[in-house]
Amino acid sequence: MQAYLGIDVGSVSTNLVVIDQQGQVINSLYLRTRGQPIKAVQDGMRQAEEALRGMDVEICGVGATGSARTLTGVIVGADTVKNEITAHAVAASHLVPDVQTVLEVGGQDSKIILLRDGIVVDFAMNTVCAAGTGSFLDHQAARLNIPIEEFGALALQSKTPVRIAGRCSVFAESDMIHKQQMGHTMPDIIFGLCDALVRNYLNNVGKGKDIQSPVVFQGGVAANVGIKAAFEKALGLEVIVPEYFSVMGAIGAAMLSKSAVREKHETSFRGFAVSEMEYQASSFECQGCPNLCEIVNIHVDGKILARWGGRCGKWETLRRTG
């Protein structure tokens, strides 16, 4: 069976997906990055190889996306390296062909993508405010001593949601404590928090955007049924959560790799053996101009495998010709 591998490495999670020629998911993995993207990718490759063992599967292409996509692409020999907007849009269009709006809320950032006739026409990202992300929900769940998996179900038990100040994570936490001290029930406070997160998202990332249905909700936070309900309440629209909502970026990367390999007729995939190689990262400040760019080196067995980080592309050129 010919298959394609997609890898999405973000600040919170590292996701790997293997799809077949028709784009059906054969295997998917969701791992925690824990600040070690190289280790996370290698662990994921090791687990993916184990999961495919005994199956007659040939990896014919690999795609990388996410905040560590360049690093990931170097390690695995990616055929295509694309940003998260492109990868998420491709995956959403594949699973919901007529999708017009993609809401994506991850661990550390959030984004909105508008599509018309399968083409991305607008998007926005929020990478600076924690109040609209999964890490904030994780923190509050831990503070309330409630498993994050139960957060959404508790929210749906709410009878009279309270209003939580959601413009800032610090103020939101203070307001939640105040509402607890006033005697409001936990479900009402939790749904109020879900409302606040959605309000923050729509006022920032979604401000001025023409949100039309079908609306697809993806990213790790889509597992929270309370957030889904809050989005539907705020938008007055049905919100679709696809089956593989947490690994959509990786699905998109895998699909993009299929297109890339079709054009160049071969794959650059280095094989699952990359999980056992010793990679080291280092950096230096380029003194070639006033930009003083930080150049990142990736070493394997004492040799430089790749360099990137400069605005002018000089170091990338040296990597290709050296």
Mean pLDDT by 10 residues, the chain (322 residues): 92 90 93 86 93 90 90 90 93 94 85 93 78 73 81 85 72 75 83 86 88 93 90 95 93 95 90 85 87 83 74 64 36
What's this model's pTM, rounded to 2 decimal places? Answer: 0.83
Domain 98-241 fold is: Nucleotidyltransferase; domain 5 (3.30.420)
What is 2-90+249-275's CATH number? 3.30.420.40
Instruction: Decide whether 2-90+249-275 matches 98-241 in CATH topology.
Output: yes
- Distance in Å from the first CA to the final CA of the chain: 36
SS (H, E, C) 159-213: CCCCCCCCCCHHHHHHHHHHHHHCCCCHHHHHHHHHHHHHHHHHHHCCCCCCCCC
- Give the integer Cα–Cα distance in Å for 204 and 165: 14
**Other beta carbons less than 10 A from residue 200's beta carbon:** 24
Confidence (pLDDT) at 320: 44
Radius of gyration of the chain measured on its C-alpha atoms: 21
Burial of 170 (0-12, 13-18, 19+ CB in 10 A): exposed
Domain ranges of the chain: 2-90+249-275, 98-241, 279-321
SS3 297: strand
* Bridge partners for 283 per DSSP: 296
Tokens for 193?
Answer: 């928090």
